[in-house]
């Protein structure tokens, strides 16, 4: 074998070995990212999850509102990539506990009774105005001592939460909540979750609990595309409000 042929064979072998090593490296990185994504969403391969949504009040029978349907489309890509399966349930038919299956609960507490129950039990520092009468306080979100009011079409707020359902029974799948002042805010929050899950997992941990306040800006012009993080309100949202004593409530004399 001449030197030229030998060099050619060695070069081809090096290329093949390099390609194989590169393929294994990319596969490892992809597998690692997928594992973290599955763990963050609580969606291992072939697992099941619940999509709990309100009924469309303007339609007859069981129907989804337009922006709720868009939110489910955002989630469907995540669920498919994780290799999981989803079941869509109306909010008033999901009579079961939480933690056995990952749950995505979408809609405000006035429209989604299950979400309202989750907020009361797991986010005691949150109060959301559910009065049907229009006014400046309609849909207002209060977290701790701060209140965020709706300005329809200009500024709309939404709470996005991942609540770890830790327990001793093995029922430890998370609950994701999107509680917005309007349907378009829920769609924006779900899109934010799908796009930024890796960063959220790095900051809060793949098994962590968090509650974020997001703001949708100028939805009448930009739809659900322009979303801003207002604050991480996890501590305030998960801390029960202080109950004033009788002495504190008594007027000064």
Q: What is the pLDDT of residue 197?
A: 95
What are the b/e assignments for 221-246, b being 16+ CB within 10 Å? eeebeebeeeeebbebbbeeeeeeee
CA 66 from chain center: how many Å? Answer: 19
pLDDT at 155 over 80: yes
Residue 44, classified by CB atoms within 10 Å of its CB into exposed (0-12), middle (13-18) or buried (19+), is: middle
CA triple 185-227-178, angle to 5 deg: 35
Integer Cα distance of 251 and 169 in angstroms? 48
pLDDT category of residue 250 using cuts at 50, 70 and 90: very low
What are the angstrom distances between the C-alpha of 219 and each of 35, 155, 156, 159, 192? 35, 8, 8, 17, 15
25-84 pLDDT per residue, tens: 666 565 778 899 999 999 999 999 999 998 876 666 667 888 888 999 999 999 999 999
Pairing of strands 102-106, 175-180: parallel
- Answer yes or no: are the C-beta atoms of 179 and 159 closer than 8 Å: yes
Q: What sign does the dihedral 136-152-216-175 (CA atoms) show? A: positive
Q: How far is CA 118 from CA 8, 91, 98, 165, 175, in A?
A: 67, 12, 9, 11, 9
175/2: higher pLDDT:
175
Edge-first strand order for the sheet with 48-53 is 85-90, 48-53, 102-106, 175-180, 155-163, 210-217, 227-232
Q: Is the pTM of this model over 0.95?
A: no
In this structure, what is the dihedral angle of CA atoms 201, 202, 203, 206, given to the nearest 10 degrees? 40
């Amino acid at each position: 074998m001449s030197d030229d042929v030998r060099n050619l064979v060695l070069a081809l072998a090096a290329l093949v070995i390099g390609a194989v090593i590169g393929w294994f490296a990319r596969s490892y990185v992809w597998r690692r990212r997928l594992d973290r994504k599955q763990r963050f969403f609580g969606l291992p391969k072939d697992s099941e999850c619940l999509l709990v949504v309100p009924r469309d009040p303007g339609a007859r029978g069981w129907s989804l509102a337009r922006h709720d349907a868009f939110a489910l489309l955002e989630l469907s890509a995540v669920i498919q990539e994780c290799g999981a399966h989803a079941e869509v349930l109306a909010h008033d038919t999901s009579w079961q506990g939480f933690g056995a299956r990952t749950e995505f609960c979408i809609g405000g507490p006035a429209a989604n009774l299950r979400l309202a129950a989750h907020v009361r039990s797991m986010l005691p520092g949150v109060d959301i105005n559910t009065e049907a009468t229009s006014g400046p306080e309609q849909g207002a979100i209060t977290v701790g001592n701060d209140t965020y009011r709706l300005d329809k079409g200009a500024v709309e707020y939404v709470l996005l939460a991942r609540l770890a359902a830790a327990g001793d029974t093995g029922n430890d799948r998370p609950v994701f909540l999107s509680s917005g002042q309007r349907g378009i805010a829920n769609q924006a929050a779900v899109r934010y979750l799908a796009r930024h899950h890796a960063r959220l997992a790095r900051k809060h941990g793949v098994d962590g609990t968090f509650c974020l306040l997001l703001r949708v800006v100028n939805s009448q012009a930009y739809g659900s595309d322009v979303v801003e993080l207002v604050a991480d309100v996890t501590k305030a949202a998960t801390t029960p409000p202080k109950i004033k004593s009788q002495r504190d409530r008594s007027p000064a004399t």
